[in-house]
Chains A and B, each alone.
Chain A
Amino acid sequence: MLWVSALGLVFLLLLTLAPVISSSQTDPLKVLESRHTPGFPKVLNITDIGNLLSVSSPEIRRVFEKLLECNTLECIEGDELSARILKAILYNSTGFDLIGLSNLSDRELLNMINDPNVVELIEALNKKSFINPSDVDKLISTLENARSEGSISPQAYMAALELLKRILEKRGNSQSSTIERKQIEAIRDALIEASRKGLLLELIEKLGKLYGESQRWSQSFNSQRGSLEIRRPQVKFELPSMSFDIVILILLASLATIALLNAKKLETLLNNATKRSGGLEEFSNEHLILKLYWNSVRIIEKVSGIRMDISTTHREYLAKVKDYIGALVKPFKGLTLSYELYRYAGISGEVVVEEALKYYNDLERLRRLKNS
């Protein structure tokens, strides 16, 4: 009943807010994929970022977190949704699907490289059976120079790295992991560059509807690069104009309805909460020794002010409280041993039960004496 009432309240609130809630419902990534023409390379051709509007902000945040935490492309691509969203972002910010290169052949990759020097170096490297680390370093520095001078496009740079990685992997060269890190760096750089141009911001503004979320992405990027600027998004969540008194009245009326409908349940809950203070009825299905012991623990907790933690053993608790409970030590020690005998030695004979009862009565008597 409680849930029904709660749902009613939520429904009421939703009705009030209905005019401002977006109606976009379909999965935009599925829509985008359905546009793929068979026979063409499977590179997501995303031109309309408006289609990504219903991707929730936590998902977008996950993509960014993934990008920051991953050191391999496999790691990013392992998370399908992240990879797809990232591809969309990259396409819109750089005009190229940078991380889809792994599907292309060596020849296709080589054709993409528009710098003859780099092509020559890669081909020379590919002919060698043993690759000297200095050759790799030389190629990397040539690539980096070409990139900084702008003589090589971002996609050509990524293609060259992919090719170099493949060559190194074929020869079991450990430098391939360095190349992969460079690829990740290039993706991050592309995003940061896009952010400088305002392209990424535009996308984030449209994707992340919540201001707080985009601020967090901004912080995580800045901690990595210190240069990403994300402005406050312009899309705001606004309530329709409504008198504050009316809102309060609606809430009070809803609470009163819930309380009336669930009066019985509330009573039971309150009873259960107060039961913990004592009484043997709580262990109605347990053996008498268990009831006696756990009730004695509650008494001792009250007297000593020391609670028994879930990981504290019975003897540890006895040792903890013994200096604070005076004459109650003896019966409580007796009850602890009776409990152990029943619980762990499997002894539940009359003698043990009688002894436990005697200790419990002593404990109660001494407590009353102490209180009086």
Chain B
Amino acid sequence: MILKVVEKASNILVERSTEIKLVLSSLLARGHVLLEGVPGVAKTYTAKTIALLLGLTFKRIQMTPDLLPSDITGGFIFDQRTGEFKLRKGPIFTNILLVDEINRASPRTQSALLEAMQEKQVTIEGVTMPLEEPFMVIATQNPIEFEGVFPLPEAQLDRFLAKIPVDYPSTIGFMEILKRADEIEEAILNLNPVMNREDVLNAIREASMVRVDDSIYEYIVRIVEESRRHPAVKLGGSPRAGIAMVRLAKAWAYISNRGYVIPDDVKAVAIPVLAHRIILRPEYEVEEVKPETIVKEILSRVPIPRP
């Protein structure tokens, strides 16, 4: 069924099949994703389409500097009729939460959200409430804005299983978008779910059972270790990055209709998993070297398992 979701979403969103597969894989790997791209490249549409097709509850928060943690988590409000405090749940109580422009929120609000992402539970005035499974945050951020934004610190970026770059479409793709713009909008409005919550939970269970050969674990370890040894890198991938790569590779294999991971799966998820966890040395940053380039370079020389 998950393949059907990929197919349907790819039909609606032009040239977004890789992003769709990565977002779905992250959901199956029980992680959160950060979509990074300039405005107008269908980041929000991607998140919305997936949520609707999966038949999960979906909420959206537009981050602003004056947003408070309680605007996300909710809080207790006084009910004058009953004379009691009642819990008013915030938008975080959902299955898929789209956080638009996460870097516009203040660090305090960001950390409240990121804490909930990590713990998968929310504590409001001493009362801890678990978030319903599956719970996934799809955050978006614009990489070119520097004013009025609070860039996410490295430790908080690490909480995202994957950072997915959303690029401009190709010329042909762009033409197709222009031709089908109204049709796409309407299609999203009239989307019917292909799955339900139970199906998604089953898919998550099945994805976790995908086979990973020892040689694949070794391959992942070598890639992560190389990211630490690279001369351009100040801080490379941690064991957590390795775990994330295994999980996402398993989910990617599952979405590709396979019960086992192959080196191609690892290569497909390496950049989304590693690039945002790599901190470059200043001299390379000045030269505008991108972490994505470093990961590509590592993948081009780490040998695949043999024979």
Contacts and interface: CB of A to CB of B under 8 A. Distances in A.
Nearest to A290: B307
Most buried by B among A311, A314, A315, A340: A311
B264 A313 contact: yes
Given A316-B264, A344-B260, A344-B262, A311 B211 contact: no
Interface in B224-278: 258-264, 267
A320 B261 CA distance: 21
- If over half of B's interface residues share one DSSP class (helix, strand or loop), that class is named, otherwise mixed; here it is loop
A346 B213 CA distance: 8
Contacts of B211: 344-346
Contacts, number: 46
Contacts of B302: 311
B307 A286 contact: yes
Contacts of B213: 343-344, 346
A248 interface: no
A286 B304 CA distance: 18
B175 to A, nearest CB: 26
A346 B214 CA distance: 11
Contacts of A283: 307
Contact of B263 (A290, A313, A345, A346): A313
- If over half of A's interface residues share one DSSP class (helix, strand or loop), that class is named, otherwise mixed; here it is helix
A312 B260 CA distance: 19
A307 to B, nearest CB: 14
A313 B262 contact: yes
A313 B304 contact: yes
Contacts of B301: 310-311
A301 B100 CA distance: 49
A316 B263 CA distance: 10
Contacts of B299: 311
A286 B303 CA distance: 19
B300 interface: yes
Contact of B261 (A294, A312, A344): A344
B143 interface: no
B270 to A, nearest CB: 12
Interface in A327-360: 340, 343-346
A311 B303 CA distance: 4
Contacts of A345: 211, 258-260
B216 interface: yes
A295 B6 CA distance: 37
Contacts of B215: 343-344
A343 B258 CA distance: 14
A340 B299 CA distance: 19
Q: Which 3 A-B pairs have the closest CB atoms?
A: A345-B260, A310-B303, A313-B263
Given A310-B301, A315-B264, 8 more contacts: A286-B307, A311-B299, A311-B302, A314-B262, A340-B262, A344-B211, A345-B211, A345-B259
25 contacts: A286-B307, A290-B307, A310-B301, A310-B303, A310-B306, A311-B301, A311-B302, A313-B263, A313-B264, A313-B304, A314-B262, A314-B263, A314-B304, A315-B262, A316-B264, A340-B260, A343-B215, A343-B305, A344-B213, A344-B215, A344-B262, A345-B258, A345-B259, A345-B260, A346-B213
